[in-house]
C-alpha cells in the first residue's frame, strides 16, 4: 500500500478517497490485506479514530472486509462507484450514529430549555430564528444551515448545563456537514416551521411539547437522510439495502 499525503480538513473523507483510489488503480487487489492500523495511521498521518471511521465506511459499502485477522479488499476495481454522491453513502454510518445521538441528547435538551430558559436566552433564540427566516427568504441556504446549527446550540446553552452544551459544541461541524448534505430548498421550510414551533414551546415553558416537537424535527431530518441515501443508491444503480 502506498503512502498518501492527507490534508487536515475532512480527514476521514480523504482517507476514504485515498484507499478507494488505490483500489481503482489496481494497487490494491481483491483479497489483499491492508497494513496494520498502526502502519496505516503512519502512512496517512492520521489518528486511529479517523482511520477507523474510514475503514468502517468502506466496509459498509462492501469495498473492504474486516475480519479477526485483519482488513481485506473485497470488491474488484471496476465495481467501485465513481460518482459525486459516493461520499455521502460512505459517510452514512457516521451520520446514522449522529442522528441517533441527537435524538438521545437534543430531545431532553429541549425539555430542559423549556424549564430553564431565561428572557435573555429566548431573545437570543428569537434573533437566530429571525436571521434564519431572512436567509430562507433570500435563498441563502448555506447561511441558513449555519444559523440552524447555531439555534440548536443556543437551546443547549439555555439549559445552563455545560456538559450538555459541550456535547452540542463538539458535534457542531458534524451537524453542519450533515445539514449541508440533506437540507435542500424543499426541506428548509419544514425545518423552519419545526424551529418556530420548538421556540414557541420553550417560550411557554412547556417541557413535554418542546420534547415532542424536537423529536418530530429530528425524525424529519432522519427521514430526509434515508431518502437521500436511497436516491444516491438509485443513481448508482445499486439497490442493495444498507444496514439500519
pLDDT tens digit sequence for 6-48 = 444 356 777 887 888 787 767 888 889 999 999 999 988 888 8
pLDDT tens digit sequence for 50-82 = 888 788 777 766 688 888 899 999 855 444 444
Intervals of CATH 1.10.10.10 along the chain: 11-80
Q: Does domain 94-236 have CATH number 1.20.120.530?
A: yes
Q: How far apart are the first and last CA of the chain?
A: 32
pLDDT tens digit sequence for 137-192 = 998 888 888 888 889 989 998 999 988 988 887 777 677 776 666 666 678 888 89
pLDDT value at 127 more than 50: yes
**Band (1; pLDDT cuts 50, 70, 90):** low
Domain topology for 11-80: Arc Repressor Mutant, subunit A (1.10.10)
Closest CA to 199 of 119, 131, 106, 122: 122
pLDDT for 196 equals 97
The backbone torsions φ and ψ at residue 178, rounded to the nearest 5 degrees and listed phi first, read -65, -50
**Band (235; pLDDT cuts 50, 70, 90):** low
Intervals of CATH 1.20.120.530 along the chain: 94-236
Amino acid at each position: 500500500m502506498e503512502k498518501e499525503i492527507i490534508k487536515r480538513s475532512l480527514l476521514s473523507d480523504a482517507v476514504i478517497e485515498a484507499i478507494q483510489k488505490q483500489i481503482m488503480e489496481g494497487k490494491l487487489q481483491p483479497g489483499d490485506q491492508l497494513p496494520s492500523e498502526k502502519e496505516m495511521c503512519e502512512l496517512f498521518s492520521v489518528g486511529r479514530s479517523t482511520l477507523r471511521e474510514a475503514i468502517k465506511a468502506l466496509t459498509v459499502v462492501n469495498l473492504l472486509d474486516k475480519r479477526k485477522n485483519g482488513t481485506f479488499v473485497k470488491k474488484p476495481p471496476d465495481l467501485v462507484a465513481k460518482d459525486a454522491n459516493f461520499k455521502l453513502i460512505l459517510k452514512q454510518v457516521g451520520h446514522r450514529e449522529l442522528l441517533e445521538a441527537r435524538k438521545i441528547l437534543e430531545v431532553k435538551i429541549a425539555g430542559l430549555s423549556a424549564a430553564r430558559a431565561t428572557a435573555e436566552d429566548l431573545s437570543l433564540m428569537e434573533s437566530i430564528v429571525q436571521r434564519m427566516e431572512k436567509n430562507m427568504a433570500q435563498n441563502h441556504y448555506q447561511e441558513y444551515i449555519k444559523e440552524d446549527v447555531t439555534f440548536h446550540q443556543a437551546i443547549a446553552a439555555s439549559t445552563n448545563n455545560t456538559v450538555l452544551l459541550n456535547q452540542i459544541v463538539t458535534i457542531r461541524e458534524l451537524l453542519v456537514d450533515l445539514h449541508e448534505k440533506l437540507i435542500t430548498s424543499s426541506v428548509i421550510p419544514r425545518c423552519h416551521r419545526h424551529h418556530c414551533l420548538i421556540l414557541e414551546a420553550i417560550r411557554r415553558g412547556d417541557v413535554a411539547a418542546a420534547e415532542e416537537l424536537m423529536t418530530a424535527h429530528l425524525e424529519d431530518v432522519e427521514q430526509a437522510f434515508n431518502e437521500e441515501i436511497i436516491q444516491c443508491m438509485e443513481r448508482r444503480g445499486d439497490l442493495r439495502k444498507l444496514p439500519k
